[in-house]
Amino acid sequence: MMDSISLSLGIEVVLGTWVKSADVKRKTLLTATGETISYKFLIIATGARALKLEEFGLTGSDAGNVCYLRDLADATRLVDVMQSCIGGNAVVIGGGYIGMECAASLVINKLNVTMVFPEAHTMARLFTPKIASYYEDYYIAKGVKFIKGTVMSSFDMDSDGKVTAVNLKDGSWLPADMVVVGIGIRPNTALFEGQLTMEKGGIKVNGRMQASDSSVYAVGDVAAFPVKLFGETRRLEHVDSARKSARHAVAAIMDPEKINEFDYLPFFYSRVFTLSWQFYGDNAGEVVHFGDFSGNTFGAYWVNKGNLVGSFLEGGSKEQYEAISKVTRLRPAIEDLGELEKLGLGYALAESQKLLQPPPPRDGGDSALVLDKRPLYAWHATAGVVVAASVAAFAYWYGRKRRRW
C-alpha cells in the first residue's frame, strides 16, 4: 500500500513503494505501484547496499543469526540477535568500519568476539600499521580476538537454519552463536546505468553535484564528485560527505547563479569504546606519526609531493581537531619530515593560530617548514538531508550502551 503525506513546506513524502525504473530523457520515474512521477530536477540519494556473502560465491546470508548493518531493519535485527545470545560467541567478518564498530558494541554487550579479515591489519584503507596496532591492542585488552590474512569458506548450520560455526579458508573453524558481516558496500546505481555517466563505481557529477544530464543531481555514497583540494574525482562513503553534498546540491538547484563549486575536505571519524578519532584529507605519500602511542593522544600527518595532505588524530579536543582540519585544507609545503615529527600536534595548533592573524612579512630566511600562500576556501555549513536511518538508529543505541560502559 502506498501512503502519500503532504507537509506544510510543500514536500510530499510517498511511502510504501519504491522507484522501479527511471527515464532520464523523459524526466519520469515509475514506482512499483504503477504511478508515474514527473520531475524538473531529480536528486539521486539512493546510497549503497551491503555486499552479501553470495556475491563472493558463499552462502548463508539468510541464516537466522547472520547479520548485516545498512538500514533500520538491519539495525533492529542485529540488536535482537545480539541480545538473544549474551555470553555467546560472535564472529565478525570484515575489519573495516562496520567490523570495528560492531565488534566494540558486541564486546560491551558481553559477547566473546573474534574478527576475521584478509588484510594484514584493521582499517587497511586508512590506518597505517602503527595506528592499527594501537587499536588492535586496545581491542585485545577488551577481549577481542583477531584472525588476519584469511577469509571464511563456509558455515556449519543446525537443523533450525542457524550458524553454529564459521569455517575459514586456512582450515580452522570458529564456534558461532551469531555472525556479523561487514565486507563493504556497492552504490545503488542500477536505475541509471546506461543513462548517466558513471565513474569510481558511482554517478559522475560536477562541482554542483550535477550529473551528465543537467536535470539530475547525485549526493552521498552514490556520487563521484571532483575534490578540488586534490584535483581529482572521488566517491566517499561517509555521513559527513552525504550531508554536505546534499546541502550543496539543493543550493545549486535553488540559486545556481550564486553557488560555487563544491569544495569539500574529505573527513572521516569513528567512536568506539572510550576512543574517538578524526581524519581529514588524503592518506597518500609519506606518513609522519606523532604523539604518545602508549597514551591517549596521538596522530599522523601524510606528506605527498612536498605538501601536507592528510591528518589523523586520536583523543583530541575540539580545538585540536579543528586545528588539524584547518592545516590540512591549507596544504602547507613541508621540507623537513623530521622537524614535522618533532613538532607533532603543536605544528597544526601553531599554524591554525596563524590563520586567525594577518601573516607576518617574510624575511627571506631559511625555514624547515614553509607554508604555501594558498587561500583558505570557505567551509560549507554542516547540515543535511541524506543520512542512513540505520546508522542513526544504531549510533543512538550504541551511544546509550557506551554511557553505561
Mean pLDDT of 213-227: 97
Whether residue 312 contacts residue 278, with contact meaning beta carbons closer than 8 Å, is answered with yes
Q: What is the pLDDT of residue 356?
A: 64
User: Is-above-0.85 flag for pTM?
Assistant: no
In whole angstroms, give the CA distance from residue 249 to residue 244.
Answer: 9
In whole angstroms, give the CA distance from residue 207 to residue 252.
Answer: 9
How far from chain centre, in Å, is Cα 352? 26
Whether residue 123 contacts residue 99, with contact meaning beta carbons closer than 8 Å, is answered with no
pLDDT in tens, 29-60: 999 999 999 999 999 999 999 999 999 999 99
Does residue 383 register a pLDDT over 50?
no
Mean pLDDT of 238-262: 95
391 Cβ contact partners less than 8 Å away, ≥ 6 residues apart: 239
Q: What is the pLDDT of residue 389?
A: 40
Q: Residue 402 — very low, low, confident or very high, per pLDDT cuts 50/70/90?
A: very low
Does residue 392 register a pLDDT over 60?
no
Q: Residue 2 — very low, low, confident or very high, per pLDDT cuts 50/70/90?
A: low
Residue 246 C-alpha cell reads as: 546534499
pLDDT in tens, 138-190: 999 999 999 999 999 999 999 999 999 999 999 999 999 999 999 999 999 99
Q: Terminus-to-terminus CA distance in the chain, angstroms?
A: 42
Q: What is the pLDDT of residue 317?
A: 96
Mean pLDDT of 90-104: 97
Residue identified by cell 582450515 is 171
pLDDT in tens, 107-147: 999 999 999 999 999 999 999 999 999 999 999 999 999 99
Mean pLDDT of 265-274: 95
Mean pLDDT of 383-398: 41
Residue identified by cell 587497511 is 124
Residue identified by cell 590540512 is 328
Residue 211 C-alpha cell reads as: 550529473
Give me the chain's average pLDDT, please.
89
Whether residue 187 contacts residue 222, with contact meaning beta carbons closer than 8 Å, is answered with yes
Residue type, 52: K
Report the number of secondary-structure helices (H) and strands (E) in the chain. Answer: 8, 28
Residue type, 229: L
pLDDT in tens, 294-347: 999 999 999 999 999 999 999 999 999 999 999 999 999 999 999 999 999 999
Going from the C-alpha of 145 to that of each of 152, 197, 289, the distances in angstroms are: 15, 43, 26
Q: Which of 49, 87, 80 lies closest to 66 in space, CA to CA?
A: 80
Beta bridge partners of 199: 202
In whole angstroms, give the CA distance from residue 308 to residue 285.
Answer: 9
Mean pLDDT of 199-223: 97
69 against 393, higher pLDDT? 69
Q: What is the pLDDT of residue 315?
A: 97
In whole angstroms, give the CA distance from residue 211 to residue 219.
Answer: 10
Quickly list DSSP for 41-104: SEEE---EEEPPGGGGT---TTSTTEE--SSHHHHHHHHHHHHHTTTSEEEEE-SSHHHHHHHH
- Inter-axis angle of helices 318-330 and 345-354, nearest 10: 70
Q: Residue 379 — very low, low, confident or very high, per pLDDT cuts 50/70/90?
A: very low
Q: What is the pLDDT of residue 314?
A: 98
| Helix, strand or coil, per DSSP, at residue 398 | helix
Q: What is the pLDDT of residue 7?
A: 67
Q: Residue 10 — very low, low, confident or very high, per pLDDT cuts 50/70/90?
A: confident
| 339 burial via Cβ count (<10 Å: 0-12, 13-18, 19+) | middle
Quickly list DSSP for 339-372: HHHHHTHHHHHHHHHHTTSPPPPP-----SEE--
